[in-house]
Structure 1
Amino acid sequence: MRDLPDVISSGRSRPVSRRDALRFAAAASALAGLGTAAAGLGAPTASAAAPTLIDFAARQIPAEYIRAAGHSGVVNYVSLSRPGSSFGAKPITLPYARSLTAAGLVIVSNYQYGKPGGTAPSDFTRGFAGGVADARTAWQLHTAAGGGRSAPIFFTVDEDIDRNTWNTVALQWFRGINSVLGAQRTGVYGGIDVCQWAAADNVIGISSIPGYRWAWQTRAWSGNRIHPAAVLYQRVVDTASNPGPLVGGLRVDVNDVMARDCGQWNLHP
């Protein structure tokens, strides 16, 4: 989940296949659980888009602008700003969450404090003890904003890592997170390989929709592949060279909802 524009190397998202259309139809069939912003959509055809959630960091975008843009909700931070930065949407606040809910929008929680080249290192480099600390911070901010007690929090791997780095570094961080939240309340954000490794190592939980895991996949570092178990797919990544769409005057990332239970608060009270 990118909180500042970066230039990334990524492939094109794949064309929507008949199988994807059926998956999107399953998501659309339960739009009551995805907020009323997209409630007028019918079952998508092979060329139609899934319901979408946006993510952003610079400031809070009023609910009415999100609805007007046709999105069903947000993925919002349950983490603080790094030293030297001040992001208006980090962390999500109780009043803002209530305004989104009142507008029929859904909320999914994400944690990211550090980043590559930032004033704090990438979170996954902090080891088991760092995972424990980050999980405690994320849970405190999530619940303070009214987040569901059984809802997952997606923890971010915001760079391209190899299997050895996953096994020796990132996995230990996720084990620390699991020791606080349990695997069922833990999700991952990353490229397709990170999502696959997290699922295989059982450090992320399971959606109520069969076959899906708490994996939020970004198109970055994924080529043209989409993991079949991902509940969210970050199709639009806002960068300086490839700006995301404007919502309420702010450029945002756009995420396709791949399963109607993608970890939104209202389904996990």
Structure 2
Amino acid sequence: MQVSRRDALRYAAAASAVVGLGATAATHAPTANAAAPTLIDFAMRQIPAQDIRAAGHAGVINYVSTSRPGSSFGAKPITLPYARSLTAAGLVIVSNYQYGKPGGTAPSDFTRGYPGGVADARTGWNLHTAAGGGRNAPIYFSVDDDVDRHTWDTLVLPWFRGINSVLGVQRTGIYGGIKPCQWAAAEGVIGKSRTPGKVWAWQTRSWSQGQIFPGAVLYQRIIDTASNPGPLVGGSRVDVNDVLAQDCGQWNFHP
């Protein structure tokens, strides 16, 4: 991607103002490691910015989707006042969309194919912009399941095509295991980071067999479960994600 000198200086200035996303992430490490800057993701409640900073994290990946029927997650969707509090504390924000879930009160979003992708992209973008999200920032859409190639080809790929029809490829990202991240990159349905060799792939440790996709910008290393609780931040259990690229789709990098 060609960047003008003026844009390069603007992005460099933005990067220097980002807590924790400096030289370490700029090297776009090929593997995740505990020394990388970290972002947390969570749904239960809005964790105060000062608690996130005190825990040593650089920011959050927050939902631009609403709660499923029968649930009421305090951090879904991100709100403008909360986003402003995070930004004022020097923390970065990355957007993620997930409404349904396997075994939940609403099915996985990708099961609704192309029309579902159109609807989810519209909802996600409306909530993203209402909270002050960057107009050029991506939204990561969740494939929170161990999908095989047939499911990818018949359901997930059409869903992403629907998302692309609303947002365009460059504002579309994926959350999932290593195979969906690889397939999304190969099919050209997710955009490119400004960090060379990186795409909008947020990879989870689940279903990844200990491997990390070299193109990923984020890696979900700690997953909060009942049997293996995540760390407490501000009194809430969280997932922890290693930042593998200076440009991981944070709002302030994509105004």
TM-score (norm 2): 0.90
Of 221, 240, 248, which aligns to 1:235?
221
User: Cα gap change, 1:120/1:43 in structure 2, threshold over 3 Å: closer, same or farther?
Assistant: closer
**What is the letter of the counterpart of residue 212 of structure 1?**
K
Q: Residue 25 of structure 2 contacts residue 244 of structure 2 at CA under 8 Å; is this kept in 1? A: no
Q: Which residue of 2 aligns with 1:35?
A: 18
Q: Is residue 95 of structure 1 aligned with residue 62 of structure 2?
A: no
Question: Alignment partner of 2:161: what SS?
Answer: helix
Q: Is residue 217 of structure 1 aligned with residue 200 of structure 2?
A: no
Q: Is residue 83 of structure 1 aligned with residue 69 of structure 2?
A: yes
Q: How big is the shift at 1:138?
A: 0.2
Q: Which residue of 2 aligns with 1:118?
A: 104
Distance 1:258 1:59 in 2: 26
Q: Give ranges in structure 2 of 5+ residues lacking alignment.
A: 1-11
Q: Which residue of 1 aligns with 2:147?
A: 161
- Paired residues, what number? 241
* CA root-mean-square deviation: 2.3
Distance 1:78 1:266 in 2: 16
**What is the letter of the counterpart of residue 225 of structure 2?**
T
Q: Which residue of 2 aligns with 1:57?
A: 43
Of 223, 237, 243, which aligns to 1:251?
237
Question: Alignment partner of 1:233: what SS?
Answer: strand
Q: How big is the shift at 1:140?
A: 0.1
TM-score (norm 1): 0.85
Of 103, 113, 138, which aligns to 1:152?
138
**What is the letter of the counterpart of residue 139 of structure 2?**
I
Question: Alignment partner of 1:120: what SS?
Answer: coil
Distance 1:42 1:223 in 2: 24
Q: Residue 31 of structure 1 contacts residue 39 of structure 1 at CA under 8 Å; is this kept in 2? A: no
Of 166, 176, 184, which aligns to 1:180?
166
Question: Alignment partner of 2:211: what SS?
Answer: coil
Q: Which residue of 1 aligns with 2:124?
A: 138
Q: Which residue of 2 aligns with 1:9?
A: none
User: Cα gap change, 1:48/1:123 in structure 2, threshold over 3 Å: closer, same or farther?
Assistant: closer
**What is the letter of the counterpart of residue 104 of structure 1?**
G
Distance 2:233 2:16 in 1: 22
Question: Alignment partner of 1:129: what SS?
Answer: helix
Question: Alignment partner of 2:245: what SS?
Answer: coil
Q: Residue 151 of structure 1 contacts residue 264 of structure 1 at CA under 8 Å; is this kept in 2? A: yes
Q: Which residue of 2 aligns with 1:25?
A: none
Cα-to-partner distance string for 1:117-174 (whole Å, 9 max, x where unaligned): 1110000001101100000000000000000000000000001010110011100000
Q: Which residue of 1 aligns with 2:156?
A: 170
Q: Is residue 261 of structure 1 aligned with residue 247 of structure 2?
A: yes
**What is the letter of the counterpart of residue 109 of structure 2?**
D
Q: How big is the shift at 1:49?
A: 1.2
Distance 1:61 1:86 in 2: 15
Question: Alignment partner of 1:188: what SS?
Answer: strand
